[in-house]
Amino acid sequence: MIETRCVAVIQARMGSSRLPGKVLRPLAGRPVLGWMVRAAQSAAGVDEVVVATSTDPGDDAVADLAEELGVKVVRGSEDDVLSRFMLALEETQADAVVRLTADCPLADPALISSVVGLWRSDPSLDYTATTLVRTLPRGLDVELASRAALERADAEAESFHRTHVTSYLYDGKASFRTMGLVVQPAANDLRVTLDTVEDGEMLDAIVAELGDRAPAWHEVVDLLRARPDITGINAGVRQKKLTEG
């Protein structure tokens, strides 16, 4: 049996239209990027973790932290994020890449493991994810793309598809074999990603209750269902549209 290699790639940069420097923001004393690296390293089926940042000097701090955390760093275009993933693909000789974003510090290693497991059970799948039918809170997303799918996207994708890396694989205009993971009861009305000051305050409140660890997704959902005072902190934040970057 040929061994397949799956690498988690965390995209991270200092620039943000709404909250600059958010990926290095402390959360319970640990940088948000550190939370993401810890979750990815804890996931079963992930062979290596890579941080993909830009060559902009402003992102030197991201690269420095990744190196301190003991993970590989690749640096490329600030806006063409897909090209950064292609660099990671070649640097690691991966057969599949898990796409994670550094502004989602409550990532659940078990969810990452489940998405990787779907692909490992059928490596002919181009794309497996929790987002095809969204049932999880915004901020717990996990996506996996095969090497062949990413290579095709790199050859064909244009415009915002290059910024969002995987959108070309599921927008319906091209044919890819996809499989999704859903949970019940649905909790896609909740938001635990970091994009605004209010998001940060909400994450602080969650971590104050759950501690400095990678929580299970259902622990986060159960807490937020029981604590409307916490969900209300960022209830007014609007999620940016895909084409807004």
pLDDT per residue as tens digits for the range 166-204: 999 988 667 899 999 999 999 999 999 999 999 999 999
- Mean pLDDT across the stretch 67-88? 95
> Distance (Å, rounded) from C-alpha 32 to C-alpha 72?
17
Characterise 110 by phi-psi region: left (phi > 0), alpha (psi -120 to 50), beta (else). Answer: alpha
**pLDDT exceeds 90 at position 241:** no
Which residue in this structure is represented by tokens 């940042």? 53
pLDDT at 243: 46
**pLDDT exceeds 50 at position 244:** no
Q: Is residue 238 part of a domain?
A: yes
> Distance (Å, rounded) from C-alpha 211 to C-alpha 209?
6
Domain coverage including residue 16: 6-244
pLDDT per residue as tens digits for the range 108-155: 999 999 999 999 999 999 999 999 999 999 999 999 999 999 999 999
Structural domain count, the chain: 1
Return the structure tokens found at 114: 């489940």
User: CATH number, domain at 69?
Assistant: 3.90.550.10
Q: Is residue 179 part of a domain?
A: yes
pLDDT at 2: 65
Q: Is residue 99 part of a domain?
A: yes
Of 5, 189, 217, 4, nearest in space to 111 by CA? 217
pLDDT at 1: 52
Q: Is residue 85 part of a domain?
A: yes
Q: Is residue 1 part of a domain?
A: no
Return the structure tokens found at 148: 């062949």
Q: How confident is the model at residue 53 (pLDDT cuts 50, 70, 90)?
A: very high
- Mean pLDDT across the stretch 81-90? 95
> Distance (Å, rounded) from C-alpha 146 to C-alpha 23?
26
Interior/surface letters 58-86, b for 16+ CB within 10 angstroms, e for the rest? ebebbbebbeebebbbbbbebebbbebbb
Q: Is residue 90 part of a domain?
A: yes
> Distance (Å, rounded) from C-alpha 140 to C-alpha 114?
13
How many C-beta neighbours within 10 Å does residue 160 have? 15
